[in-house]
A = this chain, B = another copy of it.
Amino acid sequence: MDDIRFAVLGTGGIGRRTLEVSQHKDGLTAVAACDRNGVAIDHDGLDVDELLETTEGNIASGPQSSPDQLSGGEPRDSGLDGASDSTPATPTDDFASDGGAAAVEGGGGGVKQHGEQAGIVASEQGDPTETPIDDIIAESDAIDAVLLALPNLEHDFIPRVAERFAEADYEGVMVDVLKRSRVIGMLDNREEKLKESGITFVCGAGATPGFLTGAAALAAQSFVEVEEVEIWWGVGLKSGYEDNRGTVREDIAHLDGYDIETAREMSEDEIEALIDEHDGVLEFHDMEHADDVLLERAGICDAEDVHVGGVLDVRSDEKPTTTTVSVTGTTFDGETGTNTFELDDATSMEANVNGPALGYLKAGVRNNRAGHYGVFGPADLMPGF
């Protein structure tokens, strides 16, 4: 396969780690990255080391946002609907990094060129911009694939970003690492637009649902009928906590008594208090986590037969439980069995998100070049099970 030139939207934990992992993979060249304040584009390939060094622990937008700033006024990305090209987005409208609560400057605060929370503009390669996504779209003719390492605290944020690329007639691959069932339907609703544009959209391509639904699709091959898929994950996130506050906030939305709206509106103090209350360890059951929808659409089993849960420990780097996928089914010869896939506890969440995300990105490019457009789940890209 020819070289793949890719862009990363979002340089929080996931975006930066993806850039890092891509350096270990053949045939992948990072040519663009952006956060809410800036954009770095070099079609000959970014200097990833420099970019990572300058943005490490230095994410555009920080943990100090208040719920008012996040949710106040009109929706953060309201400018993205419809004719976004003719309505230049404001910084807060345009973007949210996954470095935690997004849009910290509320009504459009100033761009910091240096120091903490400057983000990508602290890099020599970064230029400040009020329209980072539009800036990437403007260069997208020379970009084969776009990884959306964005949080998705509004359900339709990622679908709407996809729509903007489609409106600009982008022909290429888009990959997200989302983990919320209902977003898949929102992408499906836009499938015609994506197809017309020539976009191959791979959704949920991170550790879970991506990696683990891929494993489930594979493990299901012993069976002619799958009765149940159990996905159970463990994440130790002590050293990665600051980089992944956005992800943690998304997880909180899956706790009993919380939903995406209440999680979005929590202040950082409230989140810290909640974590304290649980001694740093959050346990999740029956998460609405996209795995269900993605396995159903790949024909593996009914969504209702998929159960997802896990344990997150933000005060230790040790995994609090072993990540496993168990697929129970019936064989053609009438036996019932459970095949399992287990990740070593030593493999970090970051390793398990970014390797698969780039793998699915490559698979997306293969499909895109073969003319397969539309919305795909990771399990759809497995050998035609």
A355 touches B24 (CB 8 A): no
B341 touches A219 (CB 8 A): yes
Interface flag for A331 (CB, 8 Å): yes
A383 touches B372 (CB 8 A): no
Stretch at the interface among A60-68, A159-167, A220-228: A220-228
Stretch at the interface among A114-122, A244-252, A304-312, A345-353: A345-353
A222 touches B344 (CB 8 A): yes
Instruction: Write out the residue numbers on chain B whose beta carbons fall within 8 Å of the beta carbon of A333.
Output: 348, 350-351
Interface flag for A354 (CB, 8 Å): yes
Report 24 cross-chain contacts, Cβ distance below 8 Å, ordered by A residue.
A17-B332, A21-B332, A24-B224, A211-B218, A215-B215, A219-B341, A222-B347, A222-B352, A331-B346, A331-B348, A331-B351, A332-B354, A333-B350, A335-B347, A337-B346, A339-B342, A340-B341, A340-B342, A340-B344, A359-B382, A359-B385, A363-B383, A370-B370, A378-B383
A383 touches B371 (CB 8 A): no
Q: Which of B219, B337, B355 contacts A223 (CB 8 A)?
A: B355
Measured CB to CB, the residues of A under 8 A from B are 1, 17, 20-21, 24-26, 211, 214-215, 218-219, 221-225, 299, 331-333, 335-348, 350-352, 354-356, 359-366, 370-372, 378, 381-385
Bound form: Cα–Cα A24–B334 in Å:
12
A341 touches B341 (CB 8 A): yes
Q: Which residue of B lies closest to A384 (CB)?
A: B362
